Copies of this chain bind each other. A is one copy, B any other.
């Protein structure tokens, strides 16, 4: 099954998309939401990139490597921003982003 080659990276992408969607929704409820604006915006990008990459890998797409390369870069940017905030959902999202970036970088090579 072609998508089993991708199984670990698909799982990392799904985990990262979930963490990003949750982080965005949780940031919106924080008292310091004004400071979380870029975090929320990057969460939206990163969740969309991860869902796109997971779907492409599951289809065994001929574009999977290029999509994973883009996804890795978006995860890295999002993870750096999330890591700057002390909220638990931001720290959890930063870790999911780093894990997903590493998995996508490995896939892209």
A: which residues have CB within 8 A of B? 1-3, 10, 14, 17-22, 24-26, 28-29, 31, 33-34, 37, 40-42, 44-45, 47-49, 51-52, 54-56, 58-63, 66-67, 70, 73-74, 77, 88-89
Interface majority SS (helix, strand, loop, mixed), chain A: helix
In the bound complex, residues from chain B placing their C-beta under 8 Å from that of A25 are 2-3, 41, 58-61
Distance of A55 Cα from B2 Cα, bound (Å):
25
Given known contacts A1-B89, A45-B59, A55-B51, A40 and B22 CB-to-CB distance under 8 angstroms: no
Bound-state Cα–Cα, A3 to B19, Å: 9
If A3-B21, A42-B62, A67-B70 are given as contacts, then 20 extra A-B residue pairs at C-beta distance below 8 Å, sorted by A number, are A1-B22, A2-B22, A2-B26, A3-B25, A10-B18, A14-B18, A14-B54, A17-B54, A17-B55, A21-B55, A21-B58, A22-B60, A25-B41, A25-B60, A28-B37, A40-B40, A44-B44, A45-B59, A49-B52, A49-B67
